[in-house]
Structure 1
Amino acid sequence: MVIEGRSGIGYGAMVLSPGMYGEIDDRRGEAALRAALDAGAVMIDTADGYGPDGHNERLVGRALDGRDDVLVATKFGFRIPDGAEAHRFPVNYAFGELAVNCEPKFVRGYAEQSLRGLGVEAIDLYYPHFPDPQVPFEDTVGAVAELIEDGLVRRLGVSNVTAEQLRAAHAVHPVAAVQAQWSMWQAVDPELLAAAKELGTAVVAWSPLGGGFLTGTVEGLGEGDFRHQQERFSGDNLRTNNDRYAPVRAIAAELAVTPGQLALAWLLHQDAQVVPIPGSRTPAHIAENLAAAELALDAPTLARIDAALAAFAPVGEGALME
């Protein structure tokens, strides 16, 4: 991704809030964030809906402690105000649905909450977390455009959208980045990618390590782990998927890199405008992930990886949305 000259790998902070990947304390979360900053993450990605009552944004704000050498992105829509209607829509996770409210009248309040939590004067990149099924997307985007005019937000992003929705948003205000699920085990929508290229919009790849699966180290899940909601991580499916991923792990071993580094490097080679945002809680793994930006893959290696991925065919639904 290139936003104001920034390119490389970012950091996804969602993993640092309780209820996402099992329990974690704030001391460990702040240490992880400082490790990401020190290792050169080009952006930190958070959201007002990660953890209770804006927990993740406050954690990011404490770790930043006034630093302005990294792009800070956050998303809104899940922290629905008291008395406001929850607008529900289906997803492919076990709980079946999510709810947002992205009515324009609430957007400024969302942003002001996030500014306080992050401890910044302006949000570098601001996204509606999901399009609201009951609100015209252009209206939500227009509310963010007003925040940009007022100096509370610097750039508009959109997240979990179709190519048509990206184009509609861009017609209201230039879209700096579109966030989409993309990894070795979940292809991005080719029409969305084509629209992003046409519009000059960067692609922020969420879950670029397939929820940790692509590290090659996930053999089971602990209690309270969000991934229990995903079919690909269920017992039999997880065992089958690990077996099918073996050829990719073998290529990583030949290159003397970790499977996670190979997955991130492969993603960076797919498009010049992509930035993966892997999340980890361990400083050594965070540094390892960010180092993948330096890994060059030649054409024959990429062809071998693509052949291995063509035979991978993970078992179980992997996409959040249809």
Structure 2
Amino acid sequence: MPSATHAPRQLGSTGPSVFPLALGCMGMSGMYGPADEQESVATIQAAIDQGVTLLDTGDFYGAGHNELLVGRAIRGRRDRVQLSVKFGALRGPGGSWGGVDTRPVAIRNFLAYSLTRLGVDYIDVYRPARLDPQVPIEETVGALADLVKAGYIRHVALSEVGVETIRRAAAVHPIVDLQIEYSLVSRGPETHIFPALASAGIGVTAYGVLSRGLLSGSSPKGPTDFRAHLPRFAGDNGARNRRVVETLAQLAAERGATSSQLAIAWVLARQAWVVPVIGARTRAQLAESLGALEVTLSAEDLSRLETAISPDAIAGTRYDAHQMAMLDSEKGNG
């Protein structure tokens, strides 16, 4: 059992020690089309039983459904998990996007509802889902620091923000990790953001490690699957990207692994302070993802993989143009 992949990883210099893979629960609340609620609960519980500690959710996933689901799954298991919750996104009744609100009064409101839905009296890692352009990050983090002092949250974290925002936030209160998309085909954070995090002692929880299933050969399951609206799955981009996926599958087969396992193993091998967030919705997907811990990649393996699948081999941005424009992490920060 290779210690490098199985050893716990710490979220930054001030955060908790966690299992090397986190379980992202968003897909269990309709984002990828209908999900089986019983299977979702069984998957979360199986993950906990197999050592996974960090569960990632958001108060706006399924308009609160995801937190209720996670709360049900962890009942009687609270002492074995760490909850990472994103807040601040505003949604309409039909699922429309209403922006972000990270005013201190809004934060306290969001947190009160999350604690109730999850059935807990504190949240381990709490983070704004996106930067609110109307509220200085110092004001947001200051409010979170007050909630740490009050015992309602244990650690403050960030999501999809750039270097300047990271520095300003860290000057107010210790930040344990940045959640950002990072994969074999989404490597932008390596240029400026990762060096800034490393120098500040801030970790990473990496989502989209399979580029929302693209790297595993998955495709949108219908109009309610939000991937149907993502550039990498659409039209000519989708056709070109399928060729990239075929290359990954071939390289994985040579190692006796699946495409998913090789893609996750690549993220695990890149930096010891990065924790991949796997979006397994079933116990079978969970078992496959955990198998990535058995795939050990040498420097030579990494070089070969990165040469075969370079970031510019993929067609299309990770979000549509409107969403990309709202990402602080994409504004001149790498």
Same fold, TM exceeding 0.5?
Answer: yes
Q: Secondary structure at the match of 2:111?
A: helix
The question of whether the paired residues in 2 share the 8 Å contact of 1:35 and 1:287 is answered with no
Mind listing any 5+ residue stretches in structure 2 that lack a counterpart?
A: 1-8
Q: Would you say the 8 A contact 1:39–1:287 is kept in 2?
A: no
Shift of 1:285: 1.1
Q: How many Å apart are 1:317 and its aligned residue?
A: 1.6
Cα distance, 1:30 vs structure 2 = 1.2
Partner of 1:62: 72
**2:32 pairs with one of 12, 16, 21:** 21
Q: Specify the alignment match of 1:89 in structure 2.
A: none
Q: Distance in 2 between matches of 1:281 and 1:103?
A: 33
* CA–CA separation in structure 1 for the residues paired with 2:69 and 2:53: 18
1:10–1:41 Cα contact (<8 Å) kept:
yes
| TM-score (structure 2 length as normaliser) | 0.87
Question: Within 5 A, what are the aligned runs for 1:105-124?
Answer: 105-124=105-124
Q: 1:85-96 residue pairs with structure 2 within 5 A? A: none
- Change over 3 Å in CA distance of 1:98–1:294 after alignment to 2: farther
Aligned amino acid, residue 2 of structure 1: Q
Identity over aligned pairs, percent = 39
Structure 2: distance between partners of 1:213 and 1:269: 20
Mapped contact 1:264–1:289 kept (Cα < 8 A): yes
SS state at 1:132 partner: coil
Report the aligned-residue RMSD.
2.0
1:273-307 per-position Cα deviation (integer Å, ceiling 9, x unaligned): 00011112120111211231232101221111010
Match of 2:86 in 1: 75
Report the CA distance shift for 1:284/1:80 in structure 2 as closer, same or farther (over 3 A).
closer
Report the TM-score when normalising by structure 1. 0.90
Alpha carbons 1:10, 1:44 under 8 Å: kept: yes
Secondary structure of the 2:58 match is coil
**Which residue of the partner structure matches residue 49 of structure 1?**
60
In structure 2, what is the equivalent of residue 292 of structure 1?
Answer: 292
Q: Distance in 2 between matches of 1:169 and 1:112?
A: 23
Deviation at 1:61, TM superposition (A): 0.5
Q: Which amino acid aligns with 1:242?
A: R
- One-letter amino acid of the counterpart of residue 318, structure 2: G
Deviation at 1:245, TM superposition (A): 2.9
User: Equivalents in 2 of 1:308, 1:23: separation in Å?
Assistant: 35
What secondary structure, in the 3-state scheme, does the structure 2 residue paired with 1:161 have? coil
Flag the 1:191–1:206 CA change in 2: closer, same or farther, 3 A: same
- In the other structure, the counterpart of 2:131 is 131
Paired with 2:173 and 2:121, the residues of 1 have a C-alpha distance of 21
220-229 vs 154-163, greater mean Cα deviation: 220-229
Task: Output the amino acid matched with 1:8.
Answer: P
Show the counterpart of 2:20. 8
More deviation, 311-320/283-292: 311-320
Counterpart Cα distance in 2 of 1:290 and 1:242: 24
For the Cα contact (< 8 Å) 2:24–2:57, is it kept in 1? yes
Per the alignment, in what secondary structure is the counterpart of residue 133 of structure 2?
coil
The residue that corresponds to 2:140 in the other structure is 140
Contact 2:32 2:220 in 1 (8 A): no
1:31-71 CA distance string (max 9 Å, x none): 2212222232231000001002x111110000000312121
Any conservation in 1 of the 2:220–2:228 contact (CA below 8 Å)?
Answer: no
Gaps of 5+ in 1: 83-94
CA contact (8 A) 1:47 1:56 kept: yes
Q: CA deviation at 1:27?
A: 1.8
Amino acid at match of 2:194: L
Q: Structure 1, residues 229-272: CA drift from partner, whole Å, max 9, x if none?
A: 20111133212101123222211000000110100110011111
Q: Give the 4+ runs in structure 1 shifted more than 6 A.
A: none
SS in 2 for 1:238: helix
Cα separation, 1, equivalents of 2:154 and 2:92:
24
Aligned residue in 2 for 1:192: 193
CA contact (8 A) 2:205 2:275 kept: yes
What secondary structure, in the 3-state scheme, does the structure 1 residue paired with 2:270 have?
coil
Does structure 1 conserve the Cα–Cα contact (< 8 Å) formed by 2:115 and 2:121? yes
* Secondary structure of the corresponding residue to residue 155 of structure 1: strand
**Paired residue secondary structure (1:109):** helix
In the alignment, what sits opposite 2:161? Answer: 161
Give the count of matched residue pairs.
306
- Aligned partner of 1:269 in structure 2 is 269
Amino acid at match of 1:72: L
Corresponding residue of 2:6 = none
* Structure 1 residue 110 displacement after superposition: 1.0
Q: Which amino acid aligns with 1:210?
A: S
Given that 2:213 and 2:219 are in contact with CA atoms closer than 8 Å, whether structure 1 keeps it comes out as no
**1:163-207, CA deviations, whole angstroms, 9 ceiling, x for partnerless residues?**
111111111000011101111111142211111111111101011
